[in-house]
């Protein structure tokens, strides 16, 4: 995804693959998320997959909480951390909706070129995406029809240089 190259903290190895390094705060949120899910019984067929997505859930919750605090005026410098966390969530478990979220986060930060690229990447990824059972659980809070039309509208606005919400 081209938009991920706009995330300054992501490292790339010699083969061009992204390296996911978690911060202390991200690890703490993942630990908290594991604790929250420890008593949930999962059917054996998806137990291993469920375990793999717990870090993703933690990273997404962490990113959303940082953005929520930012929008409330409580955490001015946290957008970079939110961008990093949602990018890492995508790299671990590539759900297209995280690219839409990344675009929104870039817009809040005022990085409109990166936002536009994120929306383009989102639309490309979403158009052929068929969610698995656990993916359905992760995306249930999003209205994909809305995010697709919103991403297209935002691309138009950002292409015209109109950086309004």
Write the pLDDT tens digit of every residue in 9-47: 777 788 878 888 889 999 999 999 999 988 888 778 778
Domain presence at residue 47: yes
CA distances from 85 to 15, 42, 54, 70 (A): 22, 26, 14, 15
Under 8 Å between Cβ of 49 and 68: no
Take residue 73 and report the two structure tokens written for it. 């005026």
pTM: 0.85
Interval 99-144: pLDDT, tens:
999 999 999 999 999 999 999 999 999 998 887 777 777 777 788 8
Domain presence at residue 122: yes
Domain presence at residue 111: yes
Domain presence at residue 11: yes
Q: What is the per-residue DSSP string for 35-48?
A: HHHTT----GGGHH
pLDDT at 165 over 80: no
Element (H, E) at 19: strand 18-19
CATH code: domain of residue 75: 1.25.40.10
Domain presence at residue 76: yes
Domain presence at residue 72: yes
Domain presence at residue 164: no
Please give the residue range of the domain that contains residue 132. 2-159
Domain count, the chain: 1
pLDDT at position 1, please?
63
Q: Which residues neighbour 81 within 8 Å (Cβ) at sequence distance 6 or greater? A: 23, 25, 62, 63, 66
Domain presence at residue 165: no
């Amino acid at each position: 995804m081209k938009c991920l190259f706009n995330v300054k903290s992501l490292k790339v190895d010699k083969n061009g693959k992204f390296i996911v390094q978690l911060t202390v705060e991200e690890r703490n949120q993942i630990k908290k998320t594991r604790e929250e899910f420890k008593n949930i019984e999962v059917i054996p067929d998806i137990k291993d997959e469920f375990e793999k997505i717990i870090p993703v859930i933690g990273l997404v919750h962490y990113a959303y909480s940082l953005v929520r605090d930012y929008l409330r005026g409580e955490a001015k410098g946290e957008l970079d951390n939110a961008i990093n966390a949602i990018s890492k969530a995508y790299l671990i478990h590539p759900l297209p909706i995280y690219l839409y979220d990344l675009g929104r986060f870039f817009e809040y930060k005022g990085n409109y070129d990166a936002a536009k690229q994120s929306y383009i990447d989102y639309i490309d990824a979403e158009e052929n995406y068929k969610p698995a059972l656990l993916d359905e659980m992760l995306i249930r809070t999003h209205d994909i029809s809305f995010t697709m039309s919103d991403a297209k509208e935002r691309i138009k606005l950002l292409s015209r240089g109109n950086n309004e919400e």
